[in-house]
Chain A
Amino acid sequence: MTAAPVALPETSAPPGRFRRWLTSPVGAQVTAAVVFIGAWQLLTLIAPRVPGPNEVRQFLYIEITGGSHGGIVRGQFFEHFAITLQRFSLGLLIGFTSGLLVGVLIGLSGLARALLNDTVLVLLTMPAFVWAFLTTMWFGITWQAPVLTVAFTTFPFVAINVAQGVRAITPELKHMSTAFEVGRWKQFRHLIVPAVAGYIFAGLRFAIIVGWNGILLSEWFSGQAGVGFRTRYWFDANRYRGFVGWVIVFIVFIVLVDRVILNRLQKRAFRWRDASEADFIEIEERQVGL
């Protein structure tokens, strides 16, 4: 695209650094955050029972540093967070591995699809709170209830996505593998998993979000410890700044997991694609003599 030369009026100075920063993606994100906090502050003026940003910040500081909330109630952040994280990881591991295996089965075999596809769809439509109730009914107030809630809520998301990915594998590569008599395990590792990686990541992303919702609900109903339990503790105590503070904690956690861990894993899994693009650009530049 060639732009026609535009004669700028001599008085117009180049836009200032601040203006350029403001219209950059980072600037836009910061603006959104500032607007959000401002709106929140305004809301507290209209509805006095809503805790303001500063109140919540003070609460979180005490909760995280283990200071006193007044009287003998002390901040307990890491204890609860660690417990939830353990349960969440275990549940996600169970849900993810079984989802991966069942998804591959459904994708590869028509019989497995007929047997399992409807079941997985039913599980997919089951809201997390149903699992939170059911597992509490089965196991009572134990660690199994939240772990299984996570496993049950994450499993169908992974399975459906993986099954779709497996069915999208090009028949040419499958045919090549069969022709060269490549073993099943080798095909799984080198053909199926990488081909499905994009779908696996999509499934994992959804799974983490619904699984995290699931564990909070489960701990809210049946926990004696954990993030969900602590959130309910402050809710029951009529301390809404505590409630909102913990809500912010689990939102921040999910955003960080998505941005930091999943994004990096994804970059690593797709480095073959990035490498190809980078190289082509390099070659083109060499050809035009840059």
Chain B
Amino acid sequence: MARVAIDRLSKTFPPPVKDGDPVVAIGDISLEVEGNVFVSIVGPSGCGKSTLLNILSGVETPTSGKVSVTEGGRPAHLGYVFQDARLLPWRTVMDNMLYVRDDGDVGAANASRYLDMVGLAHTHEMFPGQLSGGMQQRVGIARAFSVEPDLLLMDEPFSHLDAITARSLRDHLQELWSATRKTVLFVTHDVVEAVQLSDRIIVLAPGGRIFDDISIDLPHPRRATDPKVATLQAEILGRFEEMHPADAPA
């Protein structure tokens, strides 16, 4: 149960061409996330979603402002799910799970448990190349949960999958999350997906500002076909569309 504190964070990249304007990826964001919540960060491409994750994970440094990711006062332990599975193709599924852990037998039992939870108990000795894209991404999700992170960062994990596979993976993710209740920051450009999964949706606008911060109070797990979910999805999608005429850069 991590605490994420973002205080007046800005990130500007140098101009891509000589004598051009610097690119503002994130412009003065303040935000707090705490507790066993599933938070989505939604926005059109180029609004700084991935930059925000990179700053939280320490890959990039902020231009100004502060971020802290803590767990009871100490730096939080992080887990990651990427857009693609990022498995070592020359190691078996089980060895891939153990690659990110340092604790031998305990790790193996734990890894096994999470593989079971995503329905991949039979794949321990298989190589990633023998699995479909969706199965590989399930291994990626199981791997991220198995390191028992305080905070889980997910960067558009379903965007490379076909719609049917993505839907079944969302169900797997909801099951895992209900069982573990990790703090999750989930980046996506898909509002519908965000509504189905999250307790809270932070909408970013181009220029890296917060456009909206929406709480969703529906019980988990949610089915995509649930009328309440569908209604909310339509409503938020409506708000999202309003953003474009006013905020999209000319």
**A interface list, Cβ under 8 A from B:** 172-173, 175-177, 179-180, 182-183, 186, 190-191, 194-195, 197, 272-273, 275-277, 279-280
CA distance A279 to B128 in the complex (A): 11
Taking the closest CB of chain A, its distance from the CB of B148, in whole angstroms, is 12
The reply on B86 being an interface residue by CB < 8 A is yes
7 tightest Cβ-Cβ pairs between the two chains A and B: A276-B129, A180-B100, A194-B90, A176-B86, A279-B130, A272-B127, A272-B90
The reply on B147 being an interface residue by CB < 8 A is yes
Taking the closest CB of chain B, its distance from the CB of A268, in whole angstroms, is 11
The reply on B89 being an interface residue by CB < 8 A is yes
The reply on B82 being an interface residue by CB < 8 A is yes
> Does A276 contact B130, Cβ atoms closer than 8 Å?
yes
> Does B78 contact A179, Cβ atoms closer than 8 Å?
yes
> Does A176 contact B82, Cβ atoms closer than 8 Å?
yes
User: Chain B contact residues: over half helix, strand or loop, or mixed?
Assistant: loop
Q: Report chain B residues within 8 Å CB of A183.
A: 102
> Does A180 contact B129, Cβ atoms closer than 8 Å?
no
> Does B127 contact A180, Cβ atoms closer than 8 Å?
no
**B interface list, Cβ under 8 A from A:** 57, 59, 78-80, 82, 84, 86, 88-91, 95, 99-100, 102, 126-130, 147
Taking the closest CB of chain A, its distance from the CB of B94, in whole angstroms, is 13
> Does B90 contact A180, Cβ atoms closer than 8 Å?
no
CA distance A279 to B82 in the complex (A): 26
A-B contact pairs, 20 of them (CB 8 A): A173-B86, A176-B82, A179-B59, A179-B80, A180-B99, A182-B100, A183-B102, A194-B91, A195-B90, A272-B89, A272-B90, A272-B91, A272-B127, A272-B129, A273-B90, A273-B129, A275-B126, A276-B127, A276-B128, A276-B129
CA distance A277 to B129 in the complex (A): 8
CA distance A176 to B88 in the complex (A): 10
Q: Report chain A residues within 8 Å CB of B79.
A: 180
Q: Report chain A residues within 8 Å CB of B78.
A: 179
Q: Report chain B residues within 8 Å CB of A186.
A: 99
CA distance A177 to B78 in the complex (A): 13
Taking the closest CB of chain A, its distance from the CB of B62, in whole angstroms, is 18
Taking the closest CB of chain A, its distance from the CB of B24, in whole angstroms, is 24
> Does B57 contact A194, Cβ atoms closer than 8 Å?
no
CA distance A176 to B147 in the complex (A): 13
CA distance A177 to B143 in the complex (A): 12
User: Which residue of B57, B102, B130 contacts A179 across the interface (Cβ within 8 Å)?
Assistant: B57
User: Chain A contact residues: over half helix, strand or loop, or mixed?
Assistant: helix
> Does A275 contact B88, Cβ atoms closer than 8 Å?
no
Q: Report chain B residues within 8 Å CB of A172.
A: 82, 84, 86
Taking the closest CB of chain A, its distance from the CB of B114, in whole angstroms, is 14
> Does B88 contact A173, Cβ atoms closer than 8 Å?
yes
Taking the closest CB of chain B, its distance from the CB of A116, in whole angstroms, is 27
> Does B147 contact A180, Cβ atoms closer than 8 Å?
yes
Q: Report chain B residues within 8 Å CB of A276.
A: 89, 127-130
When C-beta atoms are compared, the residue in chain B nearest to A187 turns out to be B99
CA distance A172 to B82 in the complex (A): 9
CA distance A179 to B95 in the complex (A): 17
When C-beta atoms are compared, the residue in chain A nearest to B78 turns out to be A179
CA distance A195 to B130 in the complex (A): 18
CA distance A238 to B188 in the complex (A): 81
Known: A186-B99, A190-B91. A275 touches B129 (CB 8 A): yes
Q: Report chain B residues within 8 Å CB of A177.
A: 99
CA distance A172 to B160 in the complex (A): 15
Known: A173-B88, A272-B129. A190 touches B95 (CB 8 A): yes
- Further contacts, 15 of them, CB under 8 A, given A279-B126, A279-B129: A172-B86, A175-B86, A176-B82, A176-B86, A180-B80, A180-B99, A180-B100, A180-B147, A182-B100, A190-B95, A272-B90, A272-B129, A273-B90, A275-B130, A276-B89
Taking the closest CB of chain A, its distance from the CB of B189, in whole angstroms, is 20
> Does A275 contact B127, Cβ atoms closer than 8 Å?
yes
Q: Report chain B residues within 8 Å CB of A191.
A: 88
User: Which residue of B82, B99, B127, B128 contacts A182 across the interface (Cβ within 8 Å)?
Assistant: B99
Taking the closest CB of chain B, its distance from the CB of A171, in whole angstroms, is 11
CA distance A183 to B98 in the complex (A): 12
Q: Report chain B residues within 8 Å CB of A180.
A: 79-80, 99-100, 147
CA distance A279 to B100 in the complex (A): 26
CA distance A190 to B89 in the complex (A): 10
When C-beta atoms are compared, the residue in chain B nearest to A283 turns out to be B130
CA distance A197 to B91 in the complex (A): 13
